Amino acid sequence: MSRKNINIGLFGFGCVGFGLYEVLLKTPGLKANINKICVKDKNKSRPIDAGYFTYDKDELLNDESINTIVELIDDADAAFEIVKTALMKGKAVVTANKKMIAEHFTELLELQKKYKVPLLYEAAVCASIPVIRNLEEYYDNDLLESLEGIVNGSTNYILTKTSEDNISYADALLDAQKKGYAESNPILDTGGFDAKYKLLILLAHAFGIVLNPEEIFNIGIDKISDLELKYAREKGYKIKLVAHAFKTGLNTVSAFVAPRFVQAKDKLFQVDDVYNGVVLETVFTENQFFLGKGAGAYPTASAVLSDISALSYNYQYEYKKLVSNKSVKFNNDFTLKIFLKYEVDKVENLRLYFSSIDESYQNNTVGYLIGEIEFIHLQKLSRIEGVSIIIDSVIPSSVIETDLANVLKNEVESLV
C-alpha cells in the first residue's frame, strides 16, 4: 500500500510539540512534514526558525495544503474548538488531549462519521504504550474480561517515592513538583481525574461503552496519610492509583479509579516512577501486560508520530465494540474489600457501611477498618471529611448472569 504525504498544521510547541519536531527529523521514511505551527506566546524564544510560527489559528485551519491537524495544547476547551473545526473542514486530526476527548466523546464520534475524516489519539492514553490500537485491532471481539492499569505517571512517581524513599505523601508531592512531574495545583492528577478521562477512552475501545466523565467514580491519592503508607510497608504492599474496568456479567461492565494495595505477585507491583502499565485479562489467553513510559516529551511524541504514520496509510478507528456490543450496559453493582482510614474526631458509625469487617484499629486520633463493602456505600463514604480509602480487592459477584468462559467454551466445542 502506498503512503500519502502528510502535511501538518501543529497547535502547540511545548515539550511534546518540540519532541514531535525532533522525531520527525529522525524519521525520513515517513512522508510527513510540519507546514506551520500555531502558538500563543509571541515573546517566547523558540529553538527553530521563526518562519514556522503563526499566532492565528485560522492560518492553519483554512490552509488547504494542510491535510492533518496535530493538536498539542493544554486548554481542553480551546482544543475542542480546534479539533471540531478541523474535522468539519475535512482535515484528519491527531490529539493527545484526554480531557477534551473524554468531555466530548459522543460529539467527536459524530463529527468523524459525518465528515468522513479520522481522529486518532493514541498519545492521550499511556503515551508510549499502544493500548488503544491493540484494543481496536487485536481485541476486536468479546474476549476481554477486564482491564486495569496505572495510567497516570505523576501519581505513580509520587507513590513510588513514598515507597522507595520512605517519605511522606506531602514530601513526595513536593519532589514531583520540583521535577516538573506535578503541577503547582496537582489535583487533576492526584484527584484521579486524569486517570478517569483515560479510563473513559479505554472503556469505549475495550467494551464499547461511551460514558460522560461524571458517570465514572474516582478517588485520588490526595488524602493518603502516613498511616496507610506505614500499613503498606509492613505488609510488603505498594499503593498504586489504578483504573479498573471489568465485566460483572455477560452484558454488564463496571469501572472506577481509586488507589489500591498492590502485592508483589501483581504485575503492576513493578510499575514504578513515571511508567504506566496496563493488564488485560481475556477468556482464553488470561493476562497480558503492557509496560511503557506514560509521560515525557519523547514517549508522547512517539505515540503522536505513530498516529501520523497510521494516517499516511488512511487508518482510522472503526470503533468495532461500539457496533458489536450495543447490548452491554454500565453497572456498578458489586462488592469490594477496602482499607478505610478515618479521623476519630470527625466521623462515627462507619461500621454501618460495611457488610463485614475483618480487621480494625483505633488510637486517640485515627483508626482504620478493613472489610467488605458494596460499591454504592463506597461512593457515600468517599464524600465524608476525614476519610481515606484504599482498595484491597474487587470481590467476584455470587450472582453472575452467565459465566462467559463456559459460554465461549461450549460454543467452541460445538464447532469441533
Class of domain 6-124: alpha beta
β-strand partners of 37: 10, 53
Query: Hey, what CATH topology would domain 335-395 get?
Result: Alpha-Beta Plaits (3.30.70)
| Helices marked H in 165-225 | 169-178, 187-190, 193-207
**Nearest by Cα to 317 from 147, 124, 67:** 124
Amino acid 384 reads I
Amino acid 228 reads E
pTM for the full predicted model: 0.93
CATH code at 131-293: 3.30.360.10
The rounded distance, in Å, linking the Cα atoms of 327 and 331 is: 12
Break the chain down into helix, strand, coil percent, rounded to 5. 40, 25, 35
The rounded distance, in Å, linking the Cα atoms of 201 and 211 is: 9
**Who's near 336: CB < 8 A, 6+ residues apart?**
372, 373, 375, 378, 391, 392, 393, 394, 395
Are 293 and 128 in contact, with CB atoms under 8 Å apart? Answer: yes
- The number of angstroms, rounded, from the C-alpha of 251 to the middle of its chain's C-alpha atoms is 23
User: Which pLDDT does position 142 carry in this prediction?
Assistant: 58
Question: Cβ of 319: how many Cβ atoms within 10 Å?
Answer: 16
- pLDDT digits (tens), the chain, 416 positions: 578 999 999 999 998 999 999 999 988 888 899 999 999 988 888 889 889 999 999 999 999 999 999 999 999 999 999 999 999 999 999 999 999 999 999 999 999 999 999 999 999 999 889 999 999 988 876 589 999 999 999 999 999 999 999 999 999 999 999 988 888 899 999 999 999 999 999 999 999 999 999 999 999 999 999 999 999 999 999 999 999 999 998 889 999 999 999 999 999 999 999 999 999 998 877 789 999 998 788 889 999 999 999 999 999 999 989 887 778 899 999 999 999 999 999 888 899 999 999 999 999 999 999 999 999 999 999 999 999 999 999 987 643 444 445 544 454 454 44
Sign of the torsion angle spanned by Cα atoms 174, 178, 180, 181: negative
The rounded distance, in Å, linking the Cα atoms of 403 and 146 is: 14
The rounded distance, in Å, linking the Cα atoms of 244 and 241 is: 10
User: Which pLDDT does position 29 carry in this prediction?
Assistant: 82
**Who's near 40: CB < 8 A, 6+ residues apart?**
55, 73
Residue-range domain boundaries for the chain? 6-124, 131-293, 335-395
Coil vs helix vs strand at 269: helix
User: Which pLDDT does position 101 carry in this prediction?
Assistant: 98
**Known catalytic membership, residue 198:** yes
User: Which pLDDT does position 141 carry in this prediction?
Assistant: 65
Catalytic residue among 198, 238, 240, 293: 198
β-strand partners of 287: 281
User: Which pLDDT does position 399 carry in this prediction?
Assistant: 39
User: Which pLDDT does position 414 carry in this prediction?
Assistant: 47
The rounded distance, in Å, linking the Cα atoms of 34 and 10 is: 7
